[in-house]
C-alpha cells in the first residue's frame, strides 16, 4: 500500500473533523473512524511508517494515529 495515498486519505478524514471546535473530540473521532472503517492492513501500514508519514499528515491526524498506535500496543 502506498503510504502517500494513505496519508492523503487520512487527511481527507481529518479535514471533515477539523470543523469541530474541540480538538480532543476531533482526534478521538478521527481515531475512531480509522479503527472502524480502515482495514487492518491500511492501519498497520500507516503505523509502521508513521515517522515517515508525519510530514504529510495534518497534526490532528498524526495525533489520532499515535492514539491508535498506543491502543493497539496495549492489546
Q: What is the pLDDT along the chain (75 residues), one digit of tens a residue?
A: 899 999 999 999 999 998 899 999 999 999 999 999 999 999 999 999 999 999 999 999 999 999 999 988 887
User: pTM for this one?
Assistant: 0.92
Q: Which three cell numbers stand for residue 27?
A: 482526534
Q: What is the pLDDT of residue 22?
A: 96
Q: What is the pLDDT of residue 71?
A: 87
Distance between first and last Cα of the chain:
24
Amino acid at each position: 500500500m502506498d503510504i502517500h495515498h494513505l496519508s492523503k486519505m487520512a487527511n481527507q478524514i481529518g479535514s471533515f473533523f477539523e470543523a469541530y471546535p474541540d480538538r480532543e473530540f476531533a482526534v478521538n473521532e478521527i481515531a475512531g473512524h480509522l479503527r472502524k472503517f480502515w482495514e487492518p492492513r491500511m492501519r498497520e501500514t500507516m503505523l509502521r511508517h508513521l515517522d515517515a508519514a508525519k510530514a504529510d499528515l495534518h497534526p490532528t491526524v498524526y495525533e489520532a494515529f499515535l492514539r491508535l498506535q498506543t491502543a493497539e500496543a496495549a492489546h
